[in-house]
Structure 1
Amino acid sequence: MTTPPPYIEIDGSPAADPALLESLMTGYGHFTAAQVREGRVQGLDLHLARLDRANRELFGEGLDGERVRGLLRGALESAGRRDAAARVYVYPDVAGGARTTRTAVTLREPYTHVPAPWRLKSVPYWRPAPHIKHLGGFGQTYFGEAVRREGFDEALLTSSDGEIAEGAVTNIAFWDGTSLIWPSAPCLHGVTMTLLASRLESTRRRVTLADLPGFRAAFVANSRGISPVAGIDGVAFEVDGKLMDRVYAARDSAPWDAL
């Protein structure tokens, strides 16, 4: 016998779907975010593999990639869109049992990325279970909003001894003039990072805040785009045009897969 969901109101009105809302409020689940252009997504296989891995770890069962593709196609068709900023969320179904999940698709206006240089501020925080693109990211949201109020573009997540992991919602790479380096600390291996790492010669190694003066340039990347880094804390970086041209060319060389 299933337990009925609680009665929930939002701003004085009954919730349209109390069971789904209750699932969202648990903060337990995972998602992926992708830009859709003409019904196509870069790195679609990586998005589907991410969802499947996370679902197996969190809920003990795989997630059918073809079903996810169908849900995305259906949402785009219903919304009358070919371009969108799409997200696929997977939550526990509180009415259906601990191992039952629900999958939600959200569509927003497609994101137009302007690759202006970003300024980052380091914060003492690493995400829990960083290999999963999970819900309940209070810490990264808290620090991200805090540094933006100080005039920065992004929070850089570091350990108590200054080891760099990732941005609050980005991956980061550093350029020393010869080698491209991704921090080896536990982090989310973003789809854009994975596409770039497979197309650019790069390495992973430990990077700390004390190492920053030894780098010539840096950039951040996520599903929305890639931006050069102008500075971290008090360390300034040049915007290396040749490096960024290579990075953008590598990103653009990744095929767009049909949903």
Structure 2
Amino acid sequence: MTTPSLFPYAEFDGHPATEADLRIPAFLNYGHFTAMQVRGKKVRGLALHLARLDSANQELFERALDADRVRELIRHALDSAGVRDASTRVHAFLPPGDTETTVMVTVREPAQKSAEPHAVMSVPYARTVPHIKRPGEFGQTYYARLASRAGFDEALLTLPGGVVTEGAITNIGFWDGTSVVWPDAPSLLGITKALLEQELPGAGLESVRRPVTLDGLTAFRSAFLTNSQGIAPVRRIDDIEFTVDEELMKRIGQAYDRAPWDTV
């Protein structure tokens, strides 16, 4: 049995990764994945993760991905790594000539998104098939690194005309004083975003989707980022400053905390 000191840990279809297994992601980047934070062997929005994996698998490989099988593979990897808290990813591949989907589960140290206000740099980039979460996205990595070198914390992907879509590894939401506004544009529906869309109305916060453009950002008071590691406020996008509304962030955080934890 491995220990946390041996992170990261990976299994393929329930067995420790071999050199032959690792050739699959090394030479085949056609696949999909989901990323989650596990605490006490529980995950927020687990059903959404499993549904996203199955939907992507059917679209890419024309094969269902059984939810019970995936749950068992996650449990097995956590048990083998000897941990209950972790950053976990589930990757799916269909190697040439195979008829069954290969599932890789990776286990790393738990992570929490920094709550420090983020600076975001807009970039002209649109992901191919953005509704599917895929490994090896060169453009996302390139622009995220470019933003970092320029002193920013995240890149904001935009379409022609300055249409805002999503962050390089995040979703972005805006606050106009009355509603949380999510950009209505092709993007990945992150699990944290999906949970917030479910929970915000119960917290007294209207949640809507509508088009957002760079030249219209001054209409918003505040903004925030979400991904599997949590939620963080935005202090500026390019040279546009946003109010870091601590009360708003508290209410959004409380809404997210209402989302139940599901046992793997």
Same structural fold, with TM-score higher than 0.5 when normalized by the shorter chain? yes
Normalised TM-score (structure 1)? 0.91
Tell me the CA shift for residue 93 of structure 1.
2.1
CA RMSD in angstroms, aligned pairs only: 1.3
CA contact 1:35–1:111 (8 Å) conserved in 2: yes
- 1:119-148 Cα shifts (integer Å, max 9, x gaps): 000000011100000123110011001111
User: What aligned pairs does 1:224-239 form with structure 2 within 5 A after superposition?
Assistant: 224-239=229-244
Q: Which residue of 1 aligns with 2:93?
A: 91
**Aligned to 2:116, what secondary structure does the other structure show?**
coil
Task: Determine helix, strand or coil for the equivalent of 2:131.
Answer: coil
Q: SS at 1:63's partner residue?
A: coil
Could you tell me which amino acid in structure 1 is paired with residue 259 of structure 2?
A: A
Determine if the alignment matches structure 1 residue 73 to structure 2 residue 78: no
Q: In the alignment, which residue of structure 1 is the partner of 2:7?
A: none
Matched, 1:208 2:208: no
Deviates more, 1:244-253 or 1:111-120: 111-120
**Distance in 2 (alpha carbons) for counterparts of 1:44 and 1:22:** 26
Tell me, in whole angstroms, the C-alpha distance in 2 between the residues paired with 1:64 and 1:148: 39
Deviations 1:16-70, CA, capped at 9 Å, x for gaps: 4335414542210000000000000000000000000000000001100001100
Cα deviation for residue 180 of structure 1 reads 1.1
Contact 1:180/1:202 (<8 A) preserved: yes
What do the CA deviations read for 1:168-195 (whole angstroms, capped 9, x no partner)? 0000000011111000010000000000
- Name the CA distance, whole Å, in 2 between partners of 1:33 and 1:244: 23
Structure 1 equivalent of residue 107 of structure 2: 107
2:157 equivalent to 1:157: yes
3-state SS in 2 of match to 1:139: helix
Shift of 1:160: 2.0
Q: Could you tell me which runs of 5 or more consecutive residues in structure 2 were left unpaired when the two chains were aligned.
A: 1-16, 201-205
- Alignment gaps of 5+ in structure 1: 1-14
After the TM superposition, which parts of structure 1 deviate over 2 Å for at least 4 consecutive aligned residues? 15-20, 22-26
1:133-144 equivalence runs, <5 A:
133-144=133-144
State the TM-score, normalized to the length of structure 2.
Answer: 0.89
Give aligned pairs, total. 243
> 1:55 — aligned with what?
57
DSSP-derived class of the 1:180 partner:
strand
- The aligned counterpart of 1:4 is none
| Alignment-mate amino acid for residue 30 of structure 1 | H
Deviation at 1:241, TM superposition (A): 1.2
Give the match's secondary structure for 2:76: helix
Counterpart of 2:121 in structure 1 is 121
The residue number in structure 1 matching 2:4 is none
CA contact under 8 A between 1:31 and 1:133: conserved in structure 2? Answer: yes
Q: Match for residue 32 of structure 1?
A: 34
The answer on whether the counterparts of 2:37 and 2:110 sit within 8 Å (CA) in structure 1 is yes
The one-letter code matched in structure 2 to 1:82 is R
Give distance in 2, aligned partners of 1:224 and 1:17: 30
Q: Please give the alpha-carbon distance, in whole angstroms, between the structure 2 residues aligned to 1:115 and 1:132.
A: 27
Kindly state the Cα deviation for residue 210 of structure 1 after the two structures are TM-superposed. Answer: 0.4
Q: How many angstroms apart in 2 are the aligned matches of 1:22 and 1:42? A: 29
For each residue in 1:89-126, what CA deviation from the matched residue of structure 2 results, as whole angstroms up to 9, or x when unmatched? Answer: 001223x43x4321000000000333110000000001
Equivalent residue letter for 1:188:
L
The AA in structure 2 aligned to 1:229 is: V
Cross-structure match for 2:261: 256
- Whole-angstrom CA distance in 2 between matches of 1:74 and 1:19: 17
The aligned amino acid for 1:133 is K
After superposition, where does 1:168-179 map in structure 2 within 5 Å? 168-179=168-179
Q: Distance in 1 between matches of 2:23 and 2:106?
A: 15
Which of 238, 247, 252 is the aligned partner of 1:247? 252
